[in-house]
Structure 1
Amino acid sequence: MKYSLVLMMIFAIIKINAQDIFSYAKSDNVTELSKVKGDLNAKNSQGYTPLILAVYNNSYNTAKWLLDNGAQPDLQDDNGNTALMGAVFKGYKDMIPLLLSHKADINMRNYNDATALIYAAVFGKNEMVKLLIENGADKRAKDNRGNTALQHAVMQGNQEAVQLLH
């Protein structure tokens, strides 16, 4: 009986610490995050890592701390999206050099074979299109429908992106 109670308490502490990691990552609370003894690459119930949450919430300091302390930049959420894809989707340009400096795979594909560059073209994030190309994004990558970033830019009528992707 004592043994069961101790195990339940340990699991409760682990769960609380894991939850803290996610809430601190979302709120850019590096001070509290640094005190938590937990897996920096854990995933919450939606499949988000602390790094993905930090990036989605534009918590630059937390994202940097996580990366500096061993968070893996290319872990994918339940849809196969990475922190880099999230930065592009949300329009957080400053996150891209941070993630790339920590070896994020610029050409990583989600479960629909979309890359960060394809996301940038689809969502009209032209500054990011340029930044990703300058950092070696593969302009020839195709999503699961066979479309490249250029083809998506054409479909969106985004002439600036079309010029950048030619």
Structure 2
Amino acid sequence: MNAEDYILHPDYDNERLYNDIAIVRLQRVAPYTNYIRPICLPPLDIDNPELTNLKLAVAGWGRNGRYKSNIKQSTVVNLVPQKSCRNSYPNLNRNQVCAAGYSGEDTCKGDSGGPLMMNYNDKYYLSGVVSGKRADAPCGTSVPSLYTNVYRYLPWIRSVIRN
């Protein structure tokens, strides 16, 4: 599928990865198959202390260790509370969330833009978008990865998809 257009968030900040979110418009409607399905927008803000250690799925074609993968990879990571995440990201804002795996599970270079998904009642919700990780912390280390909190952008997303 080819993209017709993409819309970056108008306040995107590449240095701090603030507002690291975009909408991609496809040239035509994607077919539904066993491998292509829609994902729901999130019904709740996962940035909630009660949801600490919430299990979330991530997927992408990023690196698997040192090697780039041409096969989509997936794993499960756990939500890290804002307070703990600030130890790794002092400039973290409320529009960002962190997640980390327990045994080296992580997103890696090439996964940016991919989904951070919550499974609830057999539906998947796009709770976050893979944003990045500190340059001094290789994939799979104890430093959590950074994600854009999709819930915080629902008004912007809805305004873009209506046009």
Task: Please classify the TM superposition score into its range, dividing by the shorter chain length.
Answer: under 0.3
Greater share of strand: 2
Which structure is higher in RCO with an 8 Å CA cutoff and minimum separation 6?
2
TM-score, normalised with respect to structure 2: 0.21
Greater share of helix: 1
TM-score, normalised with respect to structure 1: 0.21
